[in-house]
Amino acid sequence: MRKVAIVGVGMTKFGEHWERGFRDLVTEAGVKALEDAGMSGAEISAGYVGTMAAGSLIGQEHTGALIADYMGLNPIPITRVEGACASGSLALRQGLMAVASGMHDVVVVGGVEKMTDLDTAEVSEILGGAGDQEWELFLGATFPGLYAMMARRYMHDYKATEEMLASVAVKNHKHGSMNPLAQFQNEITIQDVLDSKMVADPLKILDCSPLTDGAAAVVLAPLDIAKKYTDTPIEIVASAQASDTIALHNRSSIAGVKAAQIAAQAAYKQAGVSPSQIRVAEVHDCFTIAELMAIEDLGFFSKGKGGEASLNGETQIGAKIPVNTSGGLKACGHPVGATGIKQAVEISWQLQGEAGKRQVSGADIGLSHNVGGSGATAVVHIYKRVN
């Protein structure tokens, strides 16, 4: 198997793009990634795109062919990949395997979602399909409701508080305020979160990631030719995926995500590193409780200690383990199919020293953690700066 590196990255601003469509967003991100790699589309031999629900959200299926057409990449094959909110990371994993195997040399991987053309109720029902349609969605469970149950169990088991949950949102908004591509660039306080509208007890509106339009893309190439395209290639040193039951009621515990724990252990073994060696991480914070569980599932903090660590500022830039320097899903935004690729873009910028005001000093190894639904799919990638 060949070693694989990211040689170009690009993304749109995340937000509510009323004046722009799906194809405009993904084309912008793809062109930026190609330009960053200093290459034309002629060098691309395949593509993969993560998008969860284009058919339901905008009435457009067959998105791989659409993207090949609008990016001027015909006749190369572009394949759509779907895994709920983990669609982007699954597409990245497919692209990585294609290059590592030798089937393709230079591959473009994108993620995109256009979510704001429908009202919130309609989008919520569509997103509910990432859970168990028969036993959860049909019976009235929404995703805020599912994560609220996880939060209540976690708070019961580990004596966590609503202030601990709120501290995740506060930190991610602080990081997002330094990211010009983030949907929200305003700082908030713990009291702001506690006073915001209740969505599903104990989760308030400021505990929840928003509906977002946006796209992101990366270009992958064999490591041995990566410097043909960039002076600062980022090697993907591990890629791991795991599954769990799609319905919460079938799990042994809902105070953590078992699939994430398994994927993380596999990724650390592949990369030959430990959690303590990770210098920066992008994790899946669709709700504030999700980040607390993630930083424990990934081994950054022991079980039940994530809330206290977050409240004490240990996940901020400049602290023990900077988490979600982009602003995370909470502040940067969550166009579900694009999130996993955005995470790879942010880690690449951090390892290249190009993250601007949110730069993590000495970042040389990074990690991304992307979850589908309430945890039925989890994907972990580890990245290393090539000197």
Q: How far apart are CA 191 and CA 275, in angstroms?
A: 32
Q: How far apart are CA 26 and CA 341, in angstroms?
A: 12
Q: How far apart are CA 305 and CA 163, in angstroms?
A: 14
Task: Catalogue the active-site residues.
Answer: 85, 334
Instruction: Tell me the angle at which helices 288-297 and 143-158 cross, rounded to the nearest 10 degrees.
Output: 60
Single out the residue of 115, 103, 59, 58 nearest to residue 79, CA to CA.
Answer: 103
Strand partners, 220: 6, 107
Phi, psi at residue 198, to the nearest 5°?
Answer: -70, 135
Q: How far apart are CA 219 and CA 171, in angstroms?
A: 30
Q: How far apart are CA 205 and CA 198, in angstroms?
A: 6
Query: What secondary structure letter does DSSP report for 246?
Result: S
State the burial class of residue 1 (Cβ atoms within 10 Å of its Cβ: 0-12, 13-18, 19+). exposed
Q: How far is CA 221 from the centre of its chain?
A: 21
Counting every residue written for the chain, the total comes to 387
Single out the residue of 335, 328, 286, 340 nearest to residue 17, CA to CA.
Answer: 335
Phi, psi at residue 11, to the nearest 5°?
Answer: -155, 160
The answer to whether 295 and 323 have CB atoms below 8 angstroms apart is yes
Cβ-Cβ contacts under 8 Å for 59 (sequence gap 6 or more): none
Q: How far apart are CA 45 and CA 49, in angstroms?
A: 14
